[in-house]
Amino acid sequence: MDYNEEGDGGFMLNLTSEVEDKKKVHRRGGVNRRLKRRRDFKTGSEKRFEASKSLISRENDVREVNAEDIGDPPAKRPRFVETTPSQKRLGPKSVKATTARPTISEAARKRTAGPVRVNGKKACSHQKRPSDSAFHAELVPPDTPPDSPLRDPEPLDEDTNTRLFGGDPSTFAGLGLAEKIVNQLQGSVGFSAPTKVQQQAIPPLLAGRDIMVRAETGSGKTHAYLAPIVSQLGEKQPRLLRADGTRALVLVPTRELCLQIVEAAEALKRPYHWLVAGMLVGGENRTHEKARLRKGVVIMAGTVGRLLDHLKNTEAFQIDQLSWLVLDEADRLLDMGFEEDLAEIISILNKKAELGDMGSKRRQNALLSATMHSGLQRLAQLSMRRPLTIGFSMDDARATSGGKTARGSKALGEEGEDQDGGGEGEEHHTVAEQGVCGAGARRAADPDLEHVSIPEQLRQVVLEVPFKRRLIGLVGLLRHRLLRRAKGAKAAGVKAVVFFSSCASVDFHHAALGALEAHGKAAVPAKLYRLHGNLPQVERTKTFTEFKKSSAGILMCTDVAARGLDFPAVNLIVQFDPPGEVADYVHRVGRTGRIGQQGEAVLFLQGYEWEYVEKLRAAGADVHDASLAPLLKALPELREIPEANSRWGMRETTSNDQAEAMQGRVEAAVASRAELKQLAEAAFLAFTRAYAAFPRSLRHIFHVKQLHLGHVACSFGLKGQPSRIGNAGQGKSTKGNSKERAKSYTLKKENWGEVPRGETKDAPGSTGKIRRGNGVEASTGYGGMVTSE
Ligand SMILES: Nc1ncnc2c1ncn2[C@@H]1O[C@H](COP(=O)(O)OP(=O)(O)OP(=O)(O)O)[C@@H](O)[C@H]1O
């Protein structure tokens, strides 16, 4: 491993010392030049960052630790040590073989002038942890007060050191957690042993370290930080009371994730009943929250906007003795455009910490993510001090997936009973043991691409579904899986999450599938749920809780459910509308195949969008092609429709006939029922807007000009493109309206076969821009403001 010589932090630029080919040398030159340009020309937001960074009067230095280091058995475990000059000459392998511990960055070396020394001597492998603290002292500006919370943590005492390095990492007790927490984890929480990421993250957190963790979805990141937090706060003497104020703060992107974290904390802290956990989220009553803050909440989870609001406006919010700050789903926080808000939060917290009475203690910071984001390093520099990095490495991006290719097209419906795992005919890809990212996590083939890490047991499938078959294709897929589960020996039913690009699309499909019947029964015989950002908070929370508890059902949602949400036993993910960046794909599919369980993820695409599959494969996703036809066979036979019978005559019904008949029913219902039609038109409009808002890097694949609007309309049961669509800027913003629609619509179940066909009329007009989840705005020409969450 080599370091960024320009001092911009280790993990952003980890060019290998073995780089010999011109391309890589050129890239390094390019990156260095870019870094220089970045320093010379800072953007407004970067300048603001710099300003708030100056509040942290200390040097930051991102350090890296090999994923396997922390979890190794005691005998082999390396100690904290600096890279010696000879190791540097010999390259990264020599460092790994001897003392594969984190090394201080070249930048920090330059700043501290000369080799790193501890008490005047070169650091060596048997140095005790106090040495680590000592060499950091050289990095802290001399005028930093000795009791500043920004200074080093207290040196580890013998006891902590033994606990950190002496235990068996394959058990919770061996990681150094308090006995009560160990019993709680193994008892009522029900975990028998720590996951890999927990093995690697818990010891350094207990030892007072800042950490950055990147680990695949469903790998147990939440407990990797919650367990040490609860363990330390719970063991504090005298006991921490509400009046002591907030000691741990977890920032997350969505309200549901907040709720999930608070629930997990509640379960974990049961042996410490005096610890109070709570949350601050948008959509809740501010006055109630203020009252709770006045009483005090020790472990707090919050969304960015609401937290910032309380930090600025609620005097009773006691946070000057904060010991833990966690940024969970940090990449998503950045995607959502919260970088400046986070900077402001961190600067307020730092100011308050300076005023507070923390003695020699300092705040510990943890940053967790399942995918990479260029802004993570900025965030780390802003909030952390020499974090250990787990699972973050540019080496990953260099690794290739060798002979991995997708197997040839195989019909999705012909997979047989057991969909789990690979299957015959699949060519094996090279699996790189990646420590925290899990055995079998897949690597990127193209070093310029972000590499993805998807659980091996998660089966990924892509289906080409033309617009006129999309709605029916979804019905076919869900019926196929439901029938197969019902017939098979599998006890569990289908628990599926279907992703759409807009709230309006969720509403329409939820209504349409709920009302679609055949032979007097529901065409999709499953409980349907919906979740999106325009729903009232009460309904969001209710749906989230119910779906979490249920063993079967179909959740139709926007990307509001894509990150971090842990719905146990989800066995099918359908990406009905394509995701954005590859990272979005990873998070969506990551709602299944969690913690070693089996799962299946199906992506719907148009033929002309196939380049996206290549992009996924190049990033290391093991995506298989499948065919729609067998799924359509699972549609109910609707031969009772006279019109259809006369058209088909005496020949045998094909799956296409069934699809046509079902599509006919949908169109008839949409045409004849005003409420459904309104939902369909709004969904059509929102779909086209969302399609126009793909990030620039994907616009050549998903370009709005490629859309055949007549076919798109067909996918919403509309018999033609709504005529007022072209009248850009004619109407009002749809945001408020869609909220109203989401609240108000209810559709009675009817047999759609008996609904007469009707004519479609105009769609509601609207004006504005599109905002996708990643904060990207795009003008569509159609108008209206639509948020995808
Ligand atoms: N040690 C463990 N043993 C068994 N199950 C565990 C363990 N740790 C966590 N889990 C369970 O694994 C599931 C996934 O955990 P978690 O939600 O923390 O994953 P994650 O890595 O944060 O995923 P994402 O990136 O999607 O947010 C949860 O249901 C959690 O309760």
- At residue 357, the pLDDT reads 63
Bigger pLDDT: 169 vs 778: 169
Q: What does the pLDDT read at residue 489? A: 56
Ligand 1 atom with the smallest distance to the CA of 193 is 1
Confidence of residue 731 (pLDDT cuts 50, 70, 90): very low
Amino acid at 565: L
pLDDT band (50, 70, 90) for residue 557: very high
CA of 217 to the centre of ligand 1 (A): 8
What is the share, in percent, of the chain residues with pLDDT greater than 90? 39
CA distance 57 to 403: 49
* pLDDT of residue 721 exceeding 80: no
Helices marked H in 207-270:
221-235, 255-268
User: Quick one: pLDDT at residue 1?
Assistant: 33
40 pLDDT more than 70: no
- Asked if pLDDT for residue 315 goes beyond 70, the answer is yes
Q: How far is CA 361 from the centre of its chain?
A: 32
Using the predicted structure, report yes or no on whether residue 455 has a pLDDT greater than 60: yes
Task: Determine the atom of ligand 1 nearest the C-alpha atom of 370.
Answer: 25
Q: What percent of the chain has pLDDT over 70?
A: 59
pLDDT tens digits along 743-781 = 444 333 333 332 222 222 222 233 233 333 333 333 332
Which ligand 1 atom lies nearest to the CA of residue 191?
Answer: 3
Nearest to 509 by CA among 670, 650, 281: 670
Probe target for ligand 1 pocket from 172, 188, 219, 259, with the most ligand atoms within 8 Å of CB: 219
ipTM: 0.99
Q: Which helix (H) or strand (E) holds 602?
A: strand 599-605
Q: What is the pLDDT of residues 222-236, one digit of tens each?
A: 999 999 999 999 999
Nearest to 517 by CA among 604, 635, 609: 635
Cβ neighbours of residue 584 closer than 8 Å, sequence gap 6 or more: 559, 562, 773
In this structure, the residue with its CA closest to atom 20 of ligand 1 is 218
Q: Angle at the Cα of 762 (from 766 to 748), degrees rounded to 5?
A: 100
Report the interhelical angle of 470-487 vs 503-515 (nearest 10°): 60
Give the 3-state secondary structure percentages of the chain, helix then strand then coil, rounded to 5. Answer: 45, 10, 45
Distance from the CA of 261 to the center of ligand 1, in angstroms? Answer: 11
Distance 422 CA to ligand 1 centre (A): 23
Q: Which of 234-238, 382-386, 582-586, 694-698 has the lowest mean pLDDT?
A: 382-386
d(C-alpha 326, C-alpha 309), whole Å:
18
Q: What pLDDT is stored for residue 392 in this prediction?
A: 61
Nearest CA to ligand 1 atom 23: 218
Q: Whose Cα sits closest to atom 2 in ligand 1?
A: 191
Which residue, 345, 318, 744, 229, is CA-closest to 534? 744
Question: Confidence band (pLDDT; 50, 70, 90) for 594?
Answer: confident
Question: With contact defined as beta carbons under 8 Å apart, do 783 and 729 qualify?
Answer: yes
Over range 161-180, report the average pLDDT.
77
pLDDT at site 723: 62
Bridging pattern class, strands 553-557 and 528-531: parallel
* Helical spans, DSSP H, in 2-57: 22-40, 44-53
Q: Are 463 and 541 in contact (CB under 8 A)?
A: no
Residue 651 pLDDT level (bands cut at 50, 70, 90): low
Q: How far is the CA of 437 from the centre of ligand 1 (A)?
A: 13
- Asked if residue 738 lies in contact with residue 683, where contact means CB atoms within 8 angstroms, the answer is no
CA of 590 to the centre of ligand 1 (A): 11
Q: What is the pLDDT of residue 360?
A: 56
195 CA from centroid of ligand 1 (Å): 8
pLDDT higher than 50, residue 267 = yes
| Ligand 1 atom, smallest distance to 198 CA | 1
The predicted model gives 19-24 an average pLDDT of 40
The atom number, within ligand 1, closest to the CA of 587 reads 26
Distance 621 CA to ligand 1 centre (A): 21
pLDDT value for 648: 52
How many Cα atoms occupy the beta-carbon half-sphere of 450 within 13 Å? 20
Phi, psi of 458 (to 5 degrees): -90, 115
Q: Which ligand 1 atom minimizes the distance to the CA of 264?
A: 31
Lowest average pLDDT, out of 108-117, 562-571, 686-695, goes to 108-117
Residue 735 has pLDDT above 50, yes or no: no
Nearest CA to ligand 1 atom 9: 220
pLDDT value at 337 more than 90: no
How much is the pLDDT for 284? 75
- The ligand 1 site (C-beta within 6 Å) comprises 191, 194-195, 198, 215, 217-223, 370, 564, 566, 568, 590, 594-595
